[in-house]
Structures are given as C-alpha cells and as structure tokens.
Structure 1
Amino acid sequence: MNRAIVVTGTDTDVGKTVFAAALAGALGAYYWKPIQAGLDDGSDAQRVAVLSGLPAGHILPEAYCLTTPCSPHRAAEIDAVRIDATMLEPPAIRPLVIEGAGGALVPVTRDLLFADLFARWCLPTVIVARTTLGTINHSLLTIEILRSRAIPILGVAFVGDGVEDSEATIAAIGGVKRLGRLPWLSSLEPAALSAAFHEHFAVEDFA
C-alpha cells in the first residue's frame, strides 16, 4: 500500500481514533492528524502512538495543536491562533493515514470545513460510523456530503456491537462498500486491537 487514506467520522466519539490506530498499524503507515483540539486527556496522536504499535517516527506532528476540546475554528479563536489552510496539505510521505476531527462538516475556520479540505486533497476516504440508533441517518448524510464534493469514498467502517440491518441498509442505500466492523474490546491494548482489526477487516480493501 503506497497511498494516503483519510479517516473521517459521522460524528465525534464514534471510535475514529481507535480505528485510525488499527488501520495505520495494520498498514505499517504513518499517521497524521492535521488539527488537535483539546489536550486535557492527551492528544489523539499520543493515543495512536500507544495503540497502533507503530515506531515513534511514524506519528507525525500536528499542524495545529489547540487546547480547548471544541470545534477547531472556535478552539483556534480561544487560543488566538490563526489557522492557515496552506499548512494543512498532507505530508508527501506514504503510506499515510490522515484523521479528521469529528464529522465531515466540522469547521476548520469560519469559512472552511473539513469536507472542503477533503475535496481539495481528493484522497480515498473511510467513514467511521457507530452501530447504535441514529447511525443510518448520520452515515447517509456523511456519504451525501462527501459525494457532493466528489470525494472518493473507500467505504464505511463500523464500530460497536453488530447491528446487521443498519449496517446493510447504509451500504445498500448509500451505495458504498461495507468494510467491516470493529467490535468493542474488553481490553483496549495494541495486541487486542490488531487482532480484532485483522479478524474483522480485509487489509487488501485499503490497498
């Protein structure tokens, strides 16, 4: 695998960072989160460093690291930081897993959304979705948002307990590939996460 993949979510706290860690680890990729907003519990890059099993050099530094856990546009304002979109071009190194913040319509600035960045990059994108109530609506909305900007969708990766009808419905109505489902793990540690990823996903789907 010698390309970059974007990982976005249908919402915040859907398991996007855990999935990104598993994917980056499985591909032996580099990991990059352009904007980190919120540092009270550490950064997502730090979490990926622990969970992925990747060498330290594979975790790339953020372009912006903001202190407040909220939308990047507001977190930047609170920190008196001006986000420059030219600083948000993906590193040329490959393979690379890029993690967005929250969902596709999260504002980067007052006039730039993450979906706008994704459209500019035009990289294959994985949508991470919950399996809980409401996921059909949120997932189909995210698919529509990406398609409206001609962003290539690699497929949907579900996180949580299996809900067969919801997962199949999203894939069928959205016309997207159902990549697999990462189940809840009783122990979130690198070996368990890697085993779960390889059991429930086909690495070649990302290559």
Structure 2
Amino acid sequence: MSQPAYFVSGIGTEVGKTVASAYLQLALGADYWKPVQAGDLDFGDRDRVRQWTGLPADRYHPERYRLRTPASPHYAAHLDGLSIELDDFRLPEPTGRPLLVEGAGGLLVPLNETDCMIDLAARLGLPVILVSRHYLGSINHTLLSLEVLKGRGMELAGIVFSGGENPESERIITQLSGAPVLARLPELPQIDPTTLQGLLDAAPLALPSRSPQ
C-alpha cells in the first residue's frame, strides 16, 4: 500500500513553511522533497530541514531544479537559461515512508509562463497542508489561499499556524473556512531536534493518512 504524501505550501513567503516541514517530517516519520530550490544552493531548505530534524541523509530526496537566484522560480529559471515544465516532475521512488513535498512560497508562485505551485501540487496528486503566520493582512491571505484551493477542487489536509499566537485570527479563519487546524507552532528561539520533539510530545499531530493518487 502506498504511503501518505502531502504538499506543504504557505500563504506567502517567510511564513514558517520550512520549520513546519521539519516538524511535520518528525511527526509523520516522513521523507522530504523540495522540488525547486531557488537561491541558497550552498545551504538550502533541504539542508535546513535535515539539520533541524537530525534525520539521516536517506530521508531527503534531491531537488529537481536548483536555481541560483532567490526569486520566483519562473524568473530564477529564466536567469539560469532554463524553462520549468510540469512534465519534468515525478514523485520520488517510494521508500515505505510518508513523503512531504515542500513548495516554494505560496500557491500562486509561478513556475513558468502558465503554471504555478498549485498546478504542481495538482499534478503530483497531493493534498495541501497550508502554513499560515499571523501578521496584519494574514487573515485575508489565508482565506484567499483556501478559496483558491477550493476553487481548483484541491484537497486540503489542514492548516498549520506558525509563529506568535493570535486566537481571534485563528477563530475567524476557521469559522469562515471550516478548515481543520493540524498544529500551532510557537516562535522558536532555537530550532533543533530536541525542540521539535518537545513540541510533538506536548501536542502530538493528528493527521489522517492519505495515499498519493
């Protein structure tokens, strides 16, 4: 039987998506794959997640595209003389473990002239875990992201709130959307395996299994 897999996206950039991916990887005992890394090639998101979880190298799959410029993938690829195509992406070979796929930025970050991150999630056939962070305007950004998923007929696994608490923002987001909250990750002064495991011990993740299409 295939193992569950999820596509981790955010309501924007710098919302804690990579930290959430590390937490989710530990929680699920999953492998990790970042299909597109734009910039930070010497120490990218795959390296960060591995450092934060302390998991062995065989839990991490190589990126399909490694782009030099920290920019939208469509533009970073253009600067590298490349063109990203959806047909270039295949899920890694199954390992018997769940899989987390971390996107770049938000759902409508362009991969090329016609496709966005949400199209990659759809091609891979994965439900989306949406990472939200509280800031002025984040209610709108979160609800817009949820509406886009709904409008495309995409499956939402749930929301992870990352950073400082804002109970009223969480309340109105869940009230208006009906989206389940999978986890609340506080602002972490230090990120390491012990800290992440402590979060799991305090509040274990309850995420239903789901196999890739």
The normalised TM-score by structure 2 is: 0.91
Task: Give the corresponding residue for 1:62.
Answer: 63
SS at match of 1:181: strand
SS at match of 2:149: helix
Give how far 1:170 is off: 0.7
Identity %: 42
Give how far 1:55 is off: 1.2
CA distance in 1, matches of 2:104, 2:41: 16
Contact 1:29–1:95, Cα closer than 8 Å, also in 2 = yes
Task: Give the corresponding residue for 2:81.
Answer: 80
Larger displacement relative to structure 2 (34-43 or 110-119): 34-43
CA distance in 2, matches of 1:47, 1:132: 24
The one-letter code sitting in structure 2 at the alignment partner of 1:205 is L
Task: Give the corresponding residue for 2:205.
Answer: 203
CA distance in 1, matches of 2:136, 2:197: 27
Deviations 1:116-158 (A, max 9, x none): 1222233121100002221110000000111111110011100
CA distance in 2, matches of 1:23, 1:156: 12
Contact 1:32–1:62, Cα closer than 8 Å, also in 2 = yes
CA distance in 1, matches of 2:208, 2:141: 23
Larger displacement relative to structure 2 (97-106 or 1-10): 1-10
Larger displacement relative to structure 2 (108-117 or 66-75): 108-117
Contact 1:25–1:53, Cα closer than 8 Å, also in 2 = no
Task: Give the corresponding residue for 2:124.
Answer: 121
CA distance in 1, matches of 2:197, 2:205: 11
CA distance in 2, matches of 1:75, 1:145: 24
Q: Give the RMSD, CA atoms, in angstroms.
A: 1.6
CA distance in 1, matches of 2:3, 2:201: 19
Instruction: Could you tell me which runs of 5 or more consecutive residues in structure 2 were left unpaired when the two chains were aligned.
Output: none
Quick one: structure 1 residues 42 and 24, their matched pair in 2 at CA, closer, same or farther if it must change by over 3 Å? same
Task: Give the corresponding residue for 2:174.
Answer: 171
CA distance in 1, matches of 2:201, 2:7: 19
Give how far 1:40 is off: 6.1
Q: Is 1:155 aligned to 2:158, yes or no?
A: yes
Q: Is 1:71 aligned to 2:43, yes or no?
A: no
The one-letter code sitting in structure 2 at the alignment partner of 1:131 is H
Contact 1:18–1:48, Cα closer than 8 Å, also in 2 = yes
Give how far 1:198 is off: 4.0
Quick one: structure 1 residues 110 and 21, their matched pair in 2 at CA, closer, same or farther if it must change by over 3 Å? same
Task: Give the corresponding residue for 2:34.
Answer: 33
SS at match of 1:107: coil
The one-letter code sitting in structure 1 at the alignment partner of 2:61 is L
Give how far 1:84 is off: 2.8
CA distance in 2, matches of 1:112, 1:180: 29
Runs of 4+ in 1 over 6 A off after TM superposition: none
The one-letter code sitting in structure 1 at the alignment partner of 2:69 is T
Deviations 1:95-120 (A, max 9, x none): 10000000000001111111112222
CA distance in 1, matches of 2:90, 2:106: 19
CA distance in 1, matches of 2:121, 2:175: 24
Bigger relative contact order, structure 1 or 2, given CA contacts below 8 A and separation 6+? Answer: 2
